[in-house]
Structure 1
Amino acid sequence: MSSTDDRPLTLTYSPCPNDTFVFHAWTHGLLPGTPDVTVDYADIDVTNGRAERGEGDLLKVSYAVLPYVRDEYALLPCGGALGRGCGPLVLTAEGGATSPAGLAGRTVAVPSERSTAYLLFRLWAADLVPGGVGEVVVLPFAEIMPAVRDGRVDAGLVIHEARFTFQAYGLRRLADMGEYWETTTGHPIPLGAIVGRRSLGGERLAAVAEAIRSSVDHAWADPSASRKHVLAHAQEMDPAVADAHIGLYVNEYTRDLGVSGHAAIDALLGRAAAAGLVPATAPLSPAG
């Protein structure tokens, strides 16, 4: 693919409220002069796999997958999910483990083995679960809480709107990976990144970044414009939960990672590499 290729770009992200809110204006033709784009919706485990196989121009992926895809994809400085108080949760059912040590040798469901959530969980478990957990089962994130509730797994690592809905399943929070990360490092927590194929060229990737920032600005200036679209993709999610989801995951880092955002990502990948959990990778810069 050449940098002069002017076909519509492919963009893949989740149907979760934060993503549909952020990209609505750009993907619905509300921003004249921005690059043409076609959209595909997929769960994070799917987008991570596509990035590793080099499938697609622009994708929302887990920060944990960056060391595996950086040769082909560049990190864009906007559009992702990074912040404070928004980390994945470890949930158990009544009668289940009540402390990290109680997960030793137990079965835990996770949303993706390449997810940032799972990477954080592995760092947390190495510190606090003697001998480690037992079997790890990968499930689509929407299936994890029912699996914990029904006793098919001993605990579940959940993301997205599960922060707001787990009590409806009769579950309780055993640990917050965001609290663990922020307490031990002082950094905000990196969750999801937008990456673009390097072969698109620097000029085109810069235009994409500008389109994303404009889309975020439009969404903040007129939240009602994306409301119908967001709720349609949120399916049965309560509108109040969708609003809380957007409020938590769309923040100043969505518009621009900045110095502190890039430092948080470097800290995560550096710590994970030191623990042998991901390949070592060069420190990030706003350009890469």
Structure 2
Amino acid sequence: MFHALVHGLVPGAPPVDVTYADVDVTNTAAEKGAYDLVKVSYAALPWLLDQYELLPCGGALGRGCGPLVLTRDARTDLSGATVAIPGERTTAYLLMRQWAEAQPPRRVEVVPFHEIMPGVAAGRYDAGLVIHEARFTYQRYGLTALADLGEWWEAETGLPIPLGAILARRGAVDPAAAAEWIRASVRHAWAHPDASRDYVLAHAQEMEPDVVDQHIALYVNEFTEELGSEGHKAVDALLRSPAL
């Protein structure tokens, strides 16, 4: 999505200085106004919209792409469990709280994303809440999907699931211009799918090209270019969650 923008291939866009960080880090940094453009969890928006404006493109929203609750045993719910999560203000954790309302875990622990599946496999946690490319690789760790929270959300709402949002800091970036830079970058990626491969692989959590290709095909979709009315309905539904 951002290869062309980062590499100066979007006409009229300014140079950008990029920081790569775990989603829990960007959610927290955005609350401090650390970045002019930032990717965060949709569930973090209530704490951020006083400083930032939501852009209608560039984020992660779709169907069949939700977070998974993983275990290594045959448990049927999270009652009494210790669960590793990627962040307290992530969409994943918000959905897990809603889904597990009747059988809440005993304890949750915020863990860097790349440490969750190894931690569950090693027995440090009873369950783990994972996102993104983990849905393609969790079987390698001997883990089982207790719940697909995307499927649960879609069954409950009929809407796509809003995961990651792109925000522009008020007074620092023209949001309309920023949206056009990002759309142009996404369109460049679609027009030149091989151009960004080395850049993507350099920053991927899972390095196998087939996993990367599956990840991109699932998460870079029509909502990436434009949220549209259905995307905005999904965001509104998430932000009305009683668990927020």
Cα RMSD (Å) of the superposition? 1.1
* Aligned-residue offset at 1:55: 1.2
For residues 180-231 of structure 1, the C-alpha deviation after alignment (integer angstroms, 9 at most, x for no partner) is 0000110100000000111136xx2211100100000000011111011111
For residues 217-266 of structure 1, the C-alpha deviation after alignment (integer angstroms, 9 at most, x for no partner) is 00001111101111111265211000000011100000000111011000
Secondary structure of the 2:61 match is strand
TM-score by length of 1: 0.83
Does the alignment pair 1:82 with 2:57? no
Instruction: Pick the aligned partner of 2:184 from 211, 214, 219.
Output: 214
Q: Which amino acid aligns with 2:156?
A: T
Unaligned runs of 5+ in 2: none
Instruction: Pick the aligned partner of 1:112 from 68, 87, 111.
Output: 87
Does the alignment pair 1:168 with 2:143? no
| Aligned residue in 2 for 1:154 | 126
Retained in 1: the 8 A contact 2:121–2:141? yes
Retained in 1: the 8 A contact 2:83–2:105? yes
Q: Name segments (4+ residues, structure 1) moved above 2 Å.
A: none
| Aligned residue in 2 for 1:41 | 20
For residues 144-203 of structure 1, the C-alpha deviation after alignment (integer angstroms, 9 at most, x for no partner) is 0011101111000001110000000000111000000000110100000000111136xx
Change in CA separation of 1:235 and 1:192 when aligned onto 2, cut-off 3 Å: closer
Retained in 2: the 8 A contact 1:104–1:133? yes
CA distance in structure 2 between the partners assigned to 1:110 and 1:262 by the alignment: 26
Retained in 1: the 8 A contact 2:80–2:106? yes
Retained in 1: the 8 A contact 2:114–2:205? no
Alignment of 1:1-288 (within 5 A): 22-93=1-72, 95-97=73-75, 99-100=76-77, 103-126=78-101, 128-129=102-103, 132-200=104-172, 204-234=174-204, 237-270=207-240, 272=241, 275=242, 277-278=243-244
CA distance in structure 1 between the partners assigned to 2:120 and 2:205 by the alignment: 22
Larger radius of gyration: 1
Secondary structure of the 1:41 match is coil
**Aligned residues, how many?**
244
Q: Which structure features the higher share of helix residues?
A: 1
Retained in 2: the 8 A contact 1:35–1:208? no
Of all paired residues, the percent bearing the same amino acid is: 64
TM-score by length of 2: 0.97
* Aligned-residue offset at 1:36: 2.6
Retained in 2: the 8 A contact 1:62–1:116? yes
Change in CA separation of 1:252 and 1:236 when aligned onto 2, cut-off 3 Å: closer
